[in-house]
Amino acid sequence: MMSRSVADGARLRIVLEDTYERCVDALTESRLDLVLVAHAYPGINAFYMHPGLEPAIVFRGSTPEYGLAIRDDYAYREELLDSETVVSHPAPIPLLRYHLGRPLQMATVDSTSQAACDVADGRYNVAITNEEAAKQHHLKFVHKFSRIPMTWTVFARRND
């Protein structure tokens, strides 16, 4: 639905970057045409203030499903959550309270894509990530949480 509004029905290529800031750099350097930013991102105000950007569209839509993801070669057992460090972007950490009912030992990174990459590369064994990043990094969910209802802004380069 959003892609038809922004791209007149054209097929969009999705690029996952490690941070929103890298996305904005790619946008201002004309390597990307649009950047999608969740309103839950605490630094979104910097993009609204950026003189080279403008909001193209604001919409409501749910995120991909979130959950705990692992590599295929990791022998996951529920009790390992008591000793494992779970890697995540800070924003989805509250999902643990709602879906597992307890805190876990956490390490934070700049994005859910980075968390998935860190598990795929063996730096950690478990990540809170979303289904798109899990697929990209060949991870599988051991706990599915939910999609998150979210509002978003699509930013474009300013053309004036």
Instruction: Give pLDDT, residue 25.
Output: 93
- Give the pLDDT band (50/70/90) at residue 79: very high
Q: Is the pLDDT of residue 8 over 90?
A: no
For 94, phi then psi, to 5°, come to: -60, -20
Helical spans, DSSP H, in 29-107: 44-49, 95-99
Residue 40: partners with Cβ closer than 8 Å, 6 or more residues away: 91, 148, 150
Query: What is the pLDDT of the chain when averaged over all its residues?
Result: 90
Q: How far apart are CA 144 and CA 69, in angstroms?
A: 9
Instruction: Give pLDDT, residue 41.
Output: 85
Delineate the domains of the chain, giving CATH numbers in brackets: 2-62+149-157 (no CATH), 66-144 (3.40.190.10)
Over residues 87-114, mean pLDDT? 92
Over residues 26-32, mean pLDDT? 92
Give pLDDT tens digits for 105-158: 999 998 889 999 999 999 999 999 999 999 999 999 999 999 999 999 999 999
Give pLDDT tens digits for 62-73: 999 999 999 999
